[in-house]
Amino acid sequence: MRVDEALIDKVRTSVDIVDIIGEYVQLKKQGRNYFGLCPFHSEKSPSFSVSPEKQIFHCFGCGVGGNVYSFLMEIEGYNFPEAVYHLGEKVGISVPRQEDQIYNNKNNKTDQLYRGMDLLTKFYHYLLTETAHGKTAMQYLTKRGFSRATIDHFQIGYAPSAWETVTRFLERRKVPLKDFVEIGMLSTRDFDGKVFDRFRHRVMFPITDMKGRTVAFAGRVLDDQKPKYLNSPESNIFHKGRLLFGYHSARQAIKKKNEVVLFEGYADVIQAYQAGVDNGVASMGTSLTDEQAGILTRNAEKIIICYDSDSAGTEAAFRAAEMLKGYNRSIRIARMPQGMDPDEYIQKFGDEQFRHSVLGASLTVMAFKMQYLRRKRNMNDEGDRLRYIETVLREISELPQAVERDHYLRQLSDEFSISLEALKQQQYQIYRQLKSKGKMGTENANVKLLPKNRTLLPAHLMAERQLLAHMMRDADVALEVRDKVGAGFYSDIHEALAAHLYAYYEEGRQPDVASFIQRLEDAELKAAATEVAMMEVNEQATAQEIEDCIMMINHHRLEELIRQKEIERKEAERANDLEKATDILAEIISMKKGLGRN
**Segment 53-94, tens digit of pLDDT:** 999 999 988 888 999 999 998 888 777 888 898 899 888 998
Q: What is the pLDDT of residue 2?
A: 59
Nearest to 246 by CA among 260, 231, 232: 260
Q: What is the pLDDT of residue 3?
A: 64
| Segment among 12-21, 116-125, 417-426, 490-499 with least mean pLDDT | 490-499
Q: What is the pLDDT of residue 181?
A: 95
User: 330 - beta bridge partners?
Assistant: 302
Question: Residues 293-307: what's their mean pLDDT?
Answer: 90
Structural contact between residues 539 and 473, judged by C-beta atoms closer than 8 angstroms: yes
How far is CA 360 from each of CA 158, 252, 352, 578, rounded to the nearest angstrom?
A: 35, 21, 10, 90
Q: What is the pLDDT of residue 95?
A: 87
Structural contact between residues 244 and 283, judged by C-beta atoms closer than 8 angstroms: yes
Q: Where are the domains of the chain?
A: 5-102, 109-238, 242-370, 377-445, 459-588
Geometric angle at alpha carbon 570, from 569 and 574, rounded to 5°: 120
For the stretch 185-190, contacts whose Cβ atoms lie closer than 8 Å and that sit 24 or more positions apart, written own/partner, are 185/116, 185/117, 185/120, 185/217, 185/232
Q: How many Å apart are CA 269 and CA 304, to the nearest integer? A: 13
- The CATH number of the domain covering residues in 5-102: 3.90.580.10
Could you count the other beta carbons within 10 Å of the beta carbon of residue 394? 15
For the segment(s) 459-588, the CATH number from 3.30.930.10, 3.40.190.10, 3.10.20.30, 1.10.860.10 is: 1.10.860.10
Question: Residues 160-180: what's their mean pLDDT?
Answer: 94
Beta sheet of 65-66, edge-to-edge order: 28-30, 33-36, 48-51, 56-59, 65-66
Q: What is the pLDDT of residue 439?
A: 58
Could you count the other beta carbons within 10 Å of the beta carbon of residue 589? 12
Flag whether pLDDT at 245 surpasses 90: yes
* CATH 2.120.10.30 fits domain 242-370: no
Nearest to 303 by CA among 327, 275, 285, 270: 327
Q: Is 141 helix (H, G, I), strand (E, B) or coil?
A: helix
Amino acid 176 reads P
Whole-model pTM: value is 0.69
Question: Residues 445-454: what's their mean pLDDT?
Answer: 35
Could you count the other beta carbons within 10 Å of the beta carbon of residue 561? 14
Flag whether pLDDT at 99 surpasses 80: no
Flag whether pLDDT at 134 surpasses 90: yes
User: Helix count (H) and strand count (E) of the chain?
Assistant: 27, 16
Q: What is the pLDDT of residue 16?
A: 94
Nearest to 334 by CA among 401, 395, 275: 275
Q: How many Å apart are CA 297 and CA 292, to the nearest integer? A: 9
Please say whether the dihedral angle defined by the alpha carbons of residues 297, 298, 302 and 307, taken in this order, is positive or negative: negative
Q: How many Å apart are CA 227 and CA 220, to the nearest integer? A: 8
Q: How far is CA 519 from the centre of its chain?
A: 26
Q: How far is CA 375 from the centre of its chain?
A: 38
Which stretches of 359-412 are assigned E, i.e. beta strand?
363-364
What is the chain's mean pLDDT, rounded?
Answer: 87
Structural contact between residues 478 and 466, judged by C-beta atoms closer than 8 angstroms: no
Q: How many Å apart are CA 548 and CA 535, to the nearest integer? A: 18
Architecture of domain 109-238: Alpha-Beta Complex (3.90)
Q: How many Å apart are CA 176 and CA 174, to the nearest integer? A: 6
Q: What is the pLDDT of residue 448?
A: 30
Helices (H), 27-92: 68-76, 80-91
Question: Residues 273-300: what's their mean pLDDT?
Answer: 88
Q: How many Å apart are CA 449 and CA 431, to the nearest integer? A: 21
pLDDT tens for residues 504-557?
898 888 999 999 998 888 878 888 899 999 888 877 788 888 888 888 888 887
Q: What is the pLDDT of residue 458?
A: 83
